Amino acid sequence: MLKKVFEYAGDYRKTTYASMIVLMIGVVAYVAPFIFAYQIIQPLLMHEALTLEYVVWRIVGIAVCLILYAVFYIWGLALSHRSAYHTLENLRISLQGKLEKLPLGTIQEKGVGSLKKMFIDDIESIEILLAHALPEGVANLSIPIMVYITMFIVDWKLALLSLVSLPLGLIAMGMLYKIGMSEMNTYYAAAQKMNNTIVEYINGMEVVKVFNRDGESYHRFENDVRGYRDFTLAWYKACWPWMALYNSILPCVAMVTLPVGAWFVLQGYSTLPDLALVLCMSFAVGSPILRALGFMSTIPQLNYKIETLETMMNADPIIQGTTSFAGSDHSIRFEDIHFAYKEEEVLHGVSFDVKEGSLTALIGESGSGKSTLAKLLVHYYDVSGGTIKIGGQDIRDMSLEALNNEISYVSQEQFLFNTTLLENIRIGNLNASDEEVMEAARKAQCEEFLTRLDKGIHTMAGDGGKQLSGGERQRISLARAILKDAPIIVLDEATAFMDPENEEKMNAAIAEVIKNKTVIVIAHRLQSIVNADQICILKDGNLEAIGTHNELLKDSDEYKRLWQAAQSSAAWKVSTKEGGNKE
């Protein structure tokens, strides 16, 4: 476990070692006062003469040692914290770097709650290991070791007596560790489930309210919070007896030493001053042992968290090359594409070509695999079989950055950061001037709603873009794509019905985005793609048919069916409109 953590500490590993050394020097200062005290007690008990100077110097010695102990303790902790927080920084940056290289699917499967817990809580808990458990634990353990060495030098019989209670305490501690470890996975699974449910509950509050699902959603929330409580209580219940046992036995080092040691003195096996010293020292070892072992009880939890982090760090990255784009043009070839999100395959050998500068529409029923195919092209996932080539170059041979320079993916739900709309659009091209951003906004038909806003394009988008309507958010994302000006556009057409004015604006914005580009559009409204160069019909993960609107109307029963369905849906819209309804 330590080896893994130290890999992220880098050079700060030396600072952790330094903190241990400083704290251990402090330990010497902690033990020395007992020797000075002994030097005063011993002549008193033996009725030997003492000078004032002799006593004062020893008291000064005790005071200096206590000050030194405090100084070394603070210094050691300052060093250990410096190392710990640099390591946390490295860990968070490494995790972020890792996430960037993982397939998006792996990240989404984790859930926001688990990722937040990993980034913030789990990594933060490593601070306990590096800043406290390790340096303080080592220092606290070396106190009893030094004390016992001194005791053995003074009187080995009395030293042995004070060790009698130790094995019992250690057995209790071992049991606590064993039980804690065995329940840890269930405990953390419950914590992770609760985290994800809470995040989902907060994110989905709007839907919950709109569909009156408060009760249902609250039940899930309540169940998971209860589940966490039950697991935690069960875990503590299993650990409590052992925790109580080791907490009470370990500090009672004098439990046997006091009565048996007194008998030793009466029998002449030991001297009274030696017994006094051993007893004094016995009281000094209890709390350091407890503190050191207390840190040990956090190790099962830390171990679990570090293993979870490691699993994430070792997850297979997406396959990507280091070269830049070297394709001959921007034609696209899907060659026998197979793909499975988990075990079940959702694309079963899809092959087709997209000519440079052409418009290809992907259509098919919900769940037929349209978005999956688009996501494979933008390399959110690695294909399970087959190849995707742009201009003859396999997309796995170029870096993700190189591929991203060639493609703009405009999905239905684009995230808007809580900064100005201007900066949100500039994400398309960070080098664009304000004028260029505004021009892109104009082309994407954003002007109309921007002029309505008090601060225009300088308005804050709000948390996740919540200040804008769905159509407005989509036009912002189209402005981003215009600014990016990539040669290939992958567009997920909006499924939601729009009012005619909004639809007209959206179509004008889309026309601007796809001008002179190689375009793949996931079409949900067939009326909008009748002029496409080719239409691909996907059905249950297979390419059912491919051709122009007229060719497909002639040759494909599936297309005829979809077209008829689209026509009657349009007719339904017209009739409800005529009937004075919403449309």
Q: How far is the CB of 136 from ligand ATP (least distance, A)?
A: 45
Walk across the sheet containing 345-354 and list its strands: 345-354, 332-340, 385-390, 393-394
Q: How far is the CB of 333 from ligand ATP (least distance, A)?
A: 20
Q: How far is the CB of 253 from ligand ATP (least distance, A)?
A: 59
Is-contact 122 234, C-beta < 8 A? no
Is-contact 520 503, C-beta < 8 A? no
Q: How far is the CB of 447 from ligand ATP (least distance, A)?
A: 30
Is-contact 168 249, C-beta < 8 A? yes
Q: Which long-range contacts (CB under 8 A, 24 or more apart) does 538-542 make?
A: 538/350, 538/362, 538/363, 538/364, 538/368, 538/369, 538/370, 538/373, 539/364, 539/365, 539/368, 540/348, 540/368, 540/369, 541/345, 541/346, 541/347, 541/348, 541/350, 541/368, 541/369, 542/348, 542/349, 542/350
Q: How far is the CB of 199 from ligand ATP (least distance, A)?
A: 17
CA distances from 579 to 395, 567, 568, 572 (A): 51, 18, 16, 10
Q: How far is the CB of 538 from ligand ATP (least distance, A)?
A: 6
Name the residue nearer to ligand ATP (CB basis): 29 or 354. Answer: 354
Footprint of ligand ATP (CB under 6 A): 105, 341, 346, 364, 366-372
Q: Hey, what are 11's tokens?
A: 């050079």
Name the residue nearer to ligand ATP (CB basis): 432 or 519. Answer: 519
Q: How far is the CB of 130 from ligand ATP (least distance, A)?
A: 37
Name the residue nearer to ligand ATP (CB basis): 271 or 542. Answer: 542
Name the residue nearer to ligand ATP (CB basis): 368 or 408. Answer: 368
335 φ/ψ angles, rounded to the nearest 5 degrees: -120, 105
Give dist(CA 359, CA 532) in Å, integer.
5
Q: Hey, what are 165's tokens?
A: 């209670």
Give dist(CA 73, CA 393) in Å, integer.
61
Q: Counting Cβ atoms within 10 Å, is residue 209 exposed (0-12), middle (13-18) or buried (19+)? A: exposed
Name the residue nearer to ligand ATP (CB basis): 369 or 471. Answer: 369
Q: How far is the CB of 204 from ligand ATP (least distance, A)?
A: 17
Q: How far is the CB of 564 from ligand ATP (least distance, A)?
A: 18
Name the residue nearer to ligand ATP (CB basis): 176 or 522. Answer: 522
Name the residue nearer to ligand ATP (CB basis): 370 or 517. Answer: 370
The closest of 311, 308, 293 to 180, measured between CA atoms, is 293
Name the residue nearer to ligand ATP (CB basis): 259 or 367. Answer: 367
Name the residue nearer to ligand ATP (CB basis): 75 or 352. Answer: 352
Name the residue nearer to ligand ATP (CB basis): 208 or 536. Answer: 536
Between CA 160 and CA 164, with CA 163 as vertex, the angle to 5 degrees is 95
Q: How far is the CB of 527 from ligand ATP (least distance, A)?
A: 16
Name the residue nearer to ligand ATP (CB basis): 105 or 321. Answer: 105
Q: How far is the CB of 113 from ligand ATP (least distance, A)?
A: 17
- Residue positions counted in the chain: 583
DSSP 3-state of 178? helix
Strand partners, 338: 348, 385
